[in-house]
């Protein structure tokens, strides 16, 4: 009798143990999956050392003999990230005058990736702005049309990676100012920025522009 | 003999099952802990609707009869967050002229919380800057001393919560511009911003200021 009870108890324990194990493994796999997705954002601080990123922009591996340093920097990290776009590149920045970053955007566009740019109407007209070069290359650029600023400084790569922060995409921003950039892969956050981009892209549709007083 | 083998097998299974269960539970607890810490950052988009946050700033629960709306907004969220500081509030912003946000900083300081402010030397002198009010209240403010900008727009609350983004802490930033703010609790990211704050706090120590040409 006692032996039977012990035997039954052992069987019950084995079944319970195994089912809990399966459950544990399920959560472990889920944990690892979400943990990977939710790994902490990467942070870049500026000013970056003045480095040359020209070799990164060449269509085939090459090198540059200029006197600037060619080592890794916050700028080369940002350049590599932009150049990694394969399907889409949505740029939503207050100002874009950095030769390095605008060259990256143009290179991505040149590879046939869909590039869209939203910027600020006041700053796009300043000397050094690369908006003209973008338009000449066939990149669609849209902008606000009021006195307030389109002050975002973010980009979304392939709908998967968000670059955002305080950094204006200018030489002063990159090489002079104290700035930060955060690179986020969390789908929840990226989704919110994609929605913001689409909202502004529609709001700034040229058909809505009304610079001239309505008759 | 067979019964003994079955019995031994069952015991082995039970022990293996239980040990795996303990392991599974360990990972589950770890998962829940890190998952909570690594939950996706919260995002606020601006411009915020023009709301009144005065009731939040009162030392005891109160209300306000002004004509502005008192509902929740991106501004009230930001205000609540700043007011939640219990041990420390480190503010590192390009410009601070928003009455709502500077009142929150002053209220936190008034409760005896250690408040430190880093800002930009050019913009702290502009009309509307609240740096003078901070200093009169006894808050230590440090700033850069070169032609480039201290262009960060972040704050760290209690060494645990990071507020960062494109938002200048001004009325135009909050109520006019297209802006974003991200609230991050990931210890890795918060740590990097704390280090940047301490780096700048030391760099901008008044004993290092050299506005006058050296003799």
Given a cut of 60, whether residue A183 has pLDDT beyond it is yes
- If one counts every other C-beta atom within 10 angstroms of the C-beta of residue B16, the result is 14
State the Cα–Cα distance between residues B215 and B206, nearest whole angstrom.
Answer: 18
Strand B88-93 versus strand B114-119 pairing type: parallel
Q: B1: distance to nearest CA of chain A, Å?
A: 15
**Chain B neighbors of A193, CB-CB under 8 A:** 43, 180
What confidence score (pLDDT) does residue B116 get?
Answer: 98
What confidence score (pLDDT) does residue B64 get?
Answer: 84
Chain B window 14-33: which residues touch A at a Cβ cutoff of 8 Å?
A: 14, 16-18, 20-21, 23-25, 27-28, 30-31
State the Cα–Cα distance between residues B103 and B105, nearest whole angstrom.
Answer: 5
| Predicted complex ipTM | 0.82
CB contact under 8 A, B150 and A196: no
C-alpha distances in angstroms, B135 versus B106, B119, B140, B205?
Answer: 10, 13, 6, 15
Shortest CA distance to A102 belongs to which of A122, A87, A83?
Answer: A83
- If one counts every other C-beta atom within 10 angstroms of the C-beta of residue A142, the result is 21
* H helices present in A111-186, as ranges: 131-136, 171-175
| Facing residue for B152 by CB, picked from A150, A178, A193 | A178
User: Higher confidence at residue A42 or residue A213?
Assistant: A42
Given a cut of 60, whether residue A214 has pLDDT beyond it is no
What confidence score (pLDDT) does residue B173 get?
Answer: 97
Q: Which residues of A74-96 are buried (b: 16+ CB within 10 A; e: fewer)?
A: bbbebbebbbebeebbbbbbbbb
CB contact under 8 A, B166 and A153: yes
What confidence score (pLDDT) does residue B68 get?
Answer: 86
CB contact under 8 A, B94 and A166: yes
User: Higher confidence at residue B97 or residue A6?
Assistant: B97
A11 touches chain B (CB under 8 A): yes
Q: Which pLDDT band holds residue A174 (cuts at 50, 70, 90)?
A: very high
pLDDT tens over chain B, length 215 residues: 777 887 888 888 888 888 888 888 888 887 776 665 567 899 999 999 888 888 888 877 677 888 888 889 999 999 999 999 999 999 999 999 999 999 999 999 999 999 999 999 988 888 899 999 999 999 999 999 989 999 999 999 999 999 999 999 999 999 999 999 999 999 999 999 999 999 999 999 998 877 644 44
**Chain A neighbors of B41, CB-CB under 8 A:** 41, 184, 186, 189
Residue of B33, B151, B191, B205 with catalytic role: B151
What confidence score (pLDDT) does residue B126 get?
Answer: 87
Q: Give, to the nearest 10 degrees, the angle between helix A99-110 and helix A74-83.
A: 20
Give the single-character DSSP code of A211.
Answer: -
State the Cα–Cα distance between residues B141 and B136, nearest whole angstrom.
Answer: 11
| Facing residue for B178 by CB, picked from A43, A152, A173 | A152
A128 touches chain B (CB under 8 A): no
User: Higher confidence at residue A49 or residue B82?
Assistant: B82
State the Cα–Cα distance between residues A26 and B178, nearest whole angstrom.
Answer: 42
Shortest CA distance to A184 belongs to which of A160, A162, A152, A159?
Answer: A162
User: Higher confidence at residue A166 or residue A2?
Assistant: A166
User: Higher confidence at residue A87 or residue B21?
Assistant: A87
A160-180 mean pLDDT: 97
């Amino acid at each position: 009798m006692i032996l039977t009870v012990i035997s039954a108890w052992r069987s019950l324990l084995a079944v319970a143990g195994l089912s809990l194990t399966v459950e544990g493994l399920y959560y472990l796999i889920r944990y690892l999956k979400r943990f990977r997705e939710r790994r902490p954002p990467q942070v870049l601080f500026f000013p970056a050392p003045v480095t040359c990123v020209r070799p990164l922009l060449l269509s085939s591996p090459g090198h540059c003999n200029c006197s600037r340093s060619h080592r890794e920097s916050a700028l080369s990290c940002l350049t590599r990230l932009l150049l990694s776009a394969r399907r889409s590149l949505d740029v939503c920045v207050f100002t874009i005058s950095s030769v390095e970053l605008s060259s990256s955007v143009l290179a991505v566009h040149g590879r046939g990736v869909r590039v869209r740019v939203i910027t600020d109407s006041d700053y796009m007209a300043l000397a050094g702005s690369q908006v003209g070069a973008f338009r000449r290359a066939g990149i669609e650029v849209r902008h606000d049309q009021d006195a307030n600023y389109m002050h975002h400084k973010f980009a979304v790569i392939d709908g998967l990676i968000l670059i955002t922060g305080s950094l204006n995409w200018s030489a002063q921003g990159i090489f002079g100012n104290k700035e930060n950039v955060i690179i986020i892969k969390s789908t929840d956050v990226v989704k919110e920025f994609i929605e913001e981009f689409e909202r502004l892209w529609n709001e700034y549709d040229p058909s809505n522009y009304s610079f001239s007083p309505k008759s």
